[in-house]
Amino acid sequence: MIVNLAERAHNHNWRVDPIVRSLLDTDFYKLLMLQFIWKHFPEVNARFTIVNRTAGVKLAERVAEDDLRLQLEYVRGLRFRKSELIWLAGNTFYGTRGIFDPRFLEWLDTDLQLPEFTMTAVDGQLRLEFDGPWAQVTLWEVYALSILSELKTRAALRELSEFELDIVYARAKARLWGKIERLRGVPGLRVADFGTRRRHSFLWQEYVVRAMRDALGAAFTGTSNTYLAYKHDMEAIGTNAHELPMALAALAENDEQLKASQYHLLDLWQNTYQRELLVMLPDTFGTTQFLRNAPEWVADWTGQRIDSKDPFAAGEEYIAWLAERGRDARGKLMIASDGLDVDTILALHAQFSGVIQAGFTAQDFQRAEDFLDGRKWKPERRIRFSAGWGTLLTNDFRDCDPRRDTGAQSAFDPISLVCKLAEANGRATVKLSDNFAKANGTPEDIARYRRVFGAEGMSNQPTLV
Amino acid sequence: MIVNLAERAHNHNWRVDPIVRSLLDTDFYKLLMLQFIWKHFPEVNARFTIVNRTAGVKLAERVAEDDLRLQLEYVRGLRFRKSELIWLAGNTFYGTRGIFDPRFLEWLDTDLQLPEFTMTAVDGQLRLEFDGPWAQVTLWEVYALSILSELKTRAALRELSEFELDIVYARAKARLWGKIERLRGVPGLRVADFGTRRRHSFLWQEYVVRAMRDALGAAFTGTSNTYLAYKHDMEAIGTNAHELPMALAALAENDEQLKASQYHLLDLWQNTYQRELLVMLPDTFGTTQFLRNAPEWVADWTGQRIDSKDPFAAGEEYIAWLAERGRDARGKLMIASDGLDVDTILALHAQFSGVIQAGFTAQDFQRAEDFLDGRKWKPERRIRFSAGWGTLLTNDFRDCDPRRDTGAQSAFDPISLVCKLAEANGRATVKLSDNFAKANGTPEDIARYRRVFGAEGMSNQPTLV
């Protein structure tokens, strides 16, 4: 074999092996939200902070500040490429072309500049902050999270011999394919990749989505990762996230405006986007109060994403609410996106799509029946169920680490890292969510929000990933 | 990435992707036996035939005759390379330098030429025959077997998509590493690779032996594959095989000579090789008769390889026989080489080396105790036990095939393919072995051999691989 001298020389002189290779390497909803912010809130200032909810893992001890700085600076130096902007303009998203305003794409091309970041290490944790005009700063979220996640991965990989590296990936692939085989052939299944921010690495996410598409065909509906959608001709998936209701709530001038802000957001959103993009995220301040107090037109929205409530219960709550409002749930969309794995996906699909598969256990079945309010499970579609599969799709390396015994903790275990909108125009934000453990904000602010929104339907659930 | 144009052009113009890349790519014992034959039986003619003992697999339907012909012709065109011959001359084998006579190496260099082969397809089976001077023809055995094995593999791989290929190897690696982890750290363990002839492929065998060395260190004692030993500075392992006693038996002029031929062979062998190479293979015509009737000096040999008897029973029989003859078994070697896998290796190690490991089950323990004649198992070495791990090391792809359900048959399953010495100087050979199912020869010849040698200690056991 004749050595490729140019390649070898290039490889041993790399200054940086970038983690984020393109500004498209972000969740598609960030771009939809960015256009929304650019259009409606150009003057708002925002501050995002990184919080590691897995306190036991000291990130600063694993990730070198210099490496992190290098990766973040690399992203700051990136620009949307001409071909990427042309794709955003010309591609159809959810069946519609021209979702992005030409003036917005022009702004992306010439005016977008990620602001500088501030980094400090405190008690073994890295504190990373991004401050600036909301439209400039919002994209930092996913870039920073996927960079931190992959730097943690690289630190773990660095400890291993070449053979051990090979074991890690052989096992992870065997594990992935085991999951895919359980999903393959399940009628009517709809699964999308939602795993960008906590992925093992960019290349692993790319492997995973290509494997999913190859094996599942139409049942794999696409990826939230815009760059992978672009690179591999897949559907880009996603609509909106908590930062919008959180910002609008923080900007509210009094309790009444605060309570109304969650619907004001939906009103602005439906003036910007239509049809399949009308998927609400009602759990920011509690799903139950959101639904009960919602204006009539909210029931016309296409669907709901469930992100912090038990999805079996939340789906039933949504179906019952639609019935009350006289809407047919079978045309509506229900997206689960919180800590999903194969078992839950198949159980939810059984409950809401009426499909039971060979791999389905009696326990799964029982789980599904428990939520049917005494009715028997029937093989019929009750709502359009879709799974947004995140960390346990793109970062499931359990029992893959050759340095750990089965079941023990591993340096590859994902951590619950979030990058949250901390302030809008200098005012602290709050998120309550349906899970007390996921609440965010100062105790005083949380108390005020709970007073305004109540706590009906909330509970305590362990946060997995 | 700049494309390596030369490499791409080379790759899409390959005439043949060789399976056997070097004449060293054979079991080390073939070279020891070759020198023995060259020295003592230069005038004997031999005929080898390929027999597929797995009748259910129609080889001719899987392997194209042209591909097989191309590979076999490629091997006929190979010569020992200068550096390979220098290595044979200068390397130590079992601690001894100069095992190979310079005149023999000279003969390898200038006079060795594999004879032509004859190939016919009958009832879906490929019949392959090699005929010529024994010293010229004997090496065909392992080349032909590993070529057929890998061509069968390639046929199965050809059906798969790129992702499916990736699944196959990810699963096979995960499987391999699972086995290696069970062996890692077991005190006093000695395992060698004996899997050349029925390997999945050359590259997979190379991966396996490197993985074993990397993970097991000194517990991995080496490989029977001379080329891999040469390429990776490992110990080459092996001594002799059934073709020697079979040939000498066929050459005997009467029943008395026939019965004596098995010891005559050992006498010739110990005039040629010493010390660790004095490992006998007593099962050719039945182990029990071999040991009972052996001359006194046979008990001075270093060890025994067990290839067709239950190794738990055969080891005990050997130890008891050594005690009868007043020899200390603890200095002797017992090599098991028939259808081994992790469970058997650990159980044998427990029984004969007195070592019990974490992964050892109550069943394994019971199995070991069953052979101790009522004595309790004790943590002490009773004999130097060593495992010759073959097909289930280099070709275990069970449950790796994405086109098959768990446990079902797969195109990757190894088949029991043997290349046997069929005639010596025109006289048919016979092998009885300790397992009736493994007997070889015409019914009349087998009847005659049974009359001469008896059938004591033989039994019926399923042939796995």
The more confident residue out of A343 and A373 is A343
Residues 101-130 of B with CB under 8 A from A: none
Q: What are phi and psi of A425, to 5 degrees?
A: 50, 45
| pLDDT at residue B362 in the model | 66
**Which of residues 342 through 381 in chain B touch A, CB cutoff 8 A?**
none
For B294-320, write each residue's pLDDT tens digit: 999 999 999 999 999 999 999 999 999
B4, B7, B170 member nearest A174 (Cβ): B170
Task: Identify all chain A residues contacting B174, using CB atoms and an 8 Å cutoff.
Answer: 167, 170-171, 173-174
SS3 per residue for B117-178: EEEEEECCEEEEEEEEEHHHHCCHHHHHHHHHHHHHHHHHHHCCCHHHHHHHHHHHHHHHHH
Q: What is the mean pLDDT of residues B182-194?
A: 94
Average pLDDT over residues A422-433: 97
Contact assessment for residue B227 and residue B422, using Cβ atoms and an 8 Å cutoff? no
C-beta of residue B388 within 8 angstroms of C-beta of residue B305: yes
pLDDT of residue B294: 98
Report pLDDT for A3. Answer: 82
- Pairing mode, if any, of strands B220-223 and B191-193? parallel
Is the CATH number 3.20.140.10 carried by domain A164-394?
yes
**What is d(CA B452, CA B259) in angstroms, rounded to the nearest whole number?**
7
Across B207-211, average pLDDT: 97
Mean of the per-residue pLDDT values of chain B: 93
Tell me the β-bridge partners of A93: A96
Type of residue numbered B401: D
Per-residue pLDDT tens for B235-277?
999 999 999 999 999 999 999 999 999 999 999 999 999 999 9
| Residue B385: closest CA among B316, B321, B320 | B316
When pLDDT is cut at 50, 70 and 90, the band that residue B427 belongs to is very high
pLDDT in tens, A254-273: 999 999 999 999 999 999 99
Angle between helices B162-183 and A202-216 (to 10 degrees): 120
Q: Is the Cβ pair A214, B161 closer than 8 Å?
A: yes
> Which two structure tokens, joined as six digits, stand for B312?
């738990």
Under DSSP, the state recorded for B24 is T
pTM: 0.90
Q: Can you give the pLDDT at residue B364?
A: 62
Residue B2: which of A6, A172, A214 has the nearest Cβ? Answer: A6
Domain ranges across chain A: 16-162+415-450, 164-394
Task: Point out the residue among B6, B169, B177 whose CB comes nearest to the CB of A402.
Answer: B177
Give how far A3 is from chain B: nearest CA, Å: 9
Which residues neighbour B199 within 8 Å (Cβ) at sequence distance 6 or greater? Answer: B146, B149, B150, B205, B391, B394, B395
| Neighbour tally for A363: CB within 10 Å | 10
Task: Determine which of B5, B177, B183, B210 to mutate to test the interface with A (most A C-beta atoms within 10 Å).
Answer: B177
The verdict on a CB contact (< 8 Å) between A170 and B173 is: yes
Q: How many CB atoms lie within 10 A of CB B376?
A: 6
List pLDDT tens digits, range A30-54: 999 999 999 999 999 999 999 898 8
Question: Cβ of B196: how many Cβ atoms within 10 Å?
Answer: 28
Closest CA relative to residue A452, chosen from A283, A278, A203, A260: A260
Q: Bridge-partner residues for B423, per DSSP?
A: B47, B428
Q: Give the per-residue pLDDT at B242.
A: 97
Provide, as residue numbers in chain A, all residues whose Cβ is less than 8 Å from the Cβ of B177: 167, 170-171, 402
- Cβ of B6 under 8 Å from any chain A Cβ? yes
Residue B245 burial (CB < 10 Å; 0-12/13-18/19+)?
Answer: buried
Q: How much of chain B, in percent, has pLDDT values that exceed 90? A: 82
User: Stretch A183-201: mean pLDDT, rounded?
Assistant: 95
Q: How far apart are CA A158 and CA A167, in angstroms?
A: 14
Nearest to A397 by CA among A191, A145, A198, A227: A198
pLDDT confidence band for A465 (50 / 70 / 90): low
Quick check: A11 contacting B, CB < 8 Å?
Answer: no
What pLDDT, on a 0 to 100 scale, did the predictor assign at position A367?
65
Contacts A174 to B, Cβ<8 Å: 167, 170-171, 173-174
Contact B215 A163 (CB under 8 A): yes
pLDDT value at residue B463: 62
Structure-token pair, residue B164: 């499916």
DSSP-assigned states of every residue in B46-105: EEEEEEES-TTS-HHHHS-HHHHHHHHHHHHH----HHHHHHHHHSEETTEE--S-HHHH
Query: Distance (Å, rounded) from C-alpha B188 to C-alpha B353?
Result: 8
Assign A135 to helix, strand or coil: helix
Distance from CA of B40 to the nearest CA of A (A): 42
Q: By three-state DSSP, how is residue A453 classified? A: helix
Burial B212-231 (b: 16+ CB within 10 A, else e): bbebbeebbbbbbbbbbbbb
| φ, ψ at B157 (rounded to 5°) | -65, -35
Chain A interface includes B4 (CB < 8 A): yes
A44 at B interface, C-beta within 8 A: no
Question: Given CB atoms, is B43 within the 8 Å cutoff of chain A?
Answer: no
Interval B319-323 mean pLDDT: 97
Is there a common fold for B16-162+415-453 and B165-394? yes
Q: Is residue A97 within a helix (H) or strand (E), and if so which, with residue range?
A: strand A96-97
Q: Mean of the pLDDT values across residues A275-282?
A: 96
For residue B75, how far is the Cα from the chain centroid?
A: 20
Any A CB within 8 A of B2 CB? yes
For A16-162+415-450, give the CATH class.
alpha beta
Contact B48, B424 (CB under 8 A): no
At residue B12, does pLDDT exceed 90?
no
Give the CATH number of domain B165-394; options: 3.40.47.10, 3.20.140.10, 1.10.10.10, 2.60.40.1930: 3.20.140.10
Q: Name all contacts of A369-377 with Cβ < 8 Å and 24+ positions apart.
A: A370/A312, A371/A312, A371/A313, A371/A315, A371/A316, A372/A316, A373/A316, A377/A350, A377/A351
From A173's Cα to the closest Cα of chain B, the distance in A is 6
What kind and span of H or E run contains B427? Answer: strand B427-428
CB contact under 8 A, A161 and B2: no
Q: How far apart are the first and last CA of chain A?
A: 45
What percent of chain A shows pLDDT beyond 90?
A: 82
Q: Classify residue B41 as exposed, middle or buried by CB count within 10 Å of its CB (0-12, 13-18, 19+).
A: buried
Residue A372: pLDDT band by 50, 70, 90 thresholds?
low
Q: Do B215 and A170 touch (CB under 8 A)?
A: no
Q: Say which of B163, B174, B215 has its CB closest to residue A215.
A: B163
Task: Give pLDDT, residue A13.
Answer: 84
DSSP B253: S
Dig out the tokens for B5 from the structure.
Answer: 């144009």
Buried/exposed A411-441: b ≥16 CB within 10 Å, e otherwise: bbbbbbbbbbbbbbeeebbbbbbbbeebbbb
CB burial of A101-133 (b: ≥16 within 10 Å; e: otherwise) equals eeebbebbeeebebeebeeeeeeebbbbbbbbb
- DSSP category for residue A308: S
CA distance, residue A314 to nearest chain B CA (Å): 36
> Residue A427's beta-bridge partner residues?
A424
And the tokens for A146?
């996927």
| Percentage of residues of chain B with pLDDT beyond 70 | 94
* Chain B partners within 8 Å of A177 (Cβ): 167, 170-171, 402
Mean pLDDT of chain A: 93
- CA-CA distance, A210 to A185, in Å (whole number)? 17
Whether A167 and B161 lie within 8 Å, measured CB to CB: no
C-beta atoms of B170 and A177 within 8 A: yes
**B355 vs A182, residue with greater confidence:** A182
User: What CATH number belongs to B16-162+415-453?
Assistant: 3.20.140.10
- Look up residue A391 and give its two tokens: 């960390």
- pLDDT given for residue A365 in this prediction: 63
CA of A396 to nearest chain B CA: how many angstroms apart?
A: 15
Does the CB of A464 have a partner CB in chain B at under 8 Å?
no
Instruction: Specify the pairing of strand B45-52 against strand B417-424.
Output: antiparallel
Reply yes or no on whether the pLDDT at B281 is more than 90: yes
How distant is the Cα of B177 from the closest Cα of chain A, in angstroms? 7
Nearest-by-Cβ selection for B214 from A163, A170, A215: A163
**A171 touching B (Cβ < 8 Å):** yes
Q: Is B444 an 8 Å CB contact of chain A?
A: no
**pLDDT exceeds cutoff 90 at B28:** yes
Closest CA–CA distance from residue B228 to any residue of chain A (Å): 17
Q: How far is B397 from chain A (nearest CA, A)?
A: 13
In B, minimum Cα distance to A210 occurs at B163
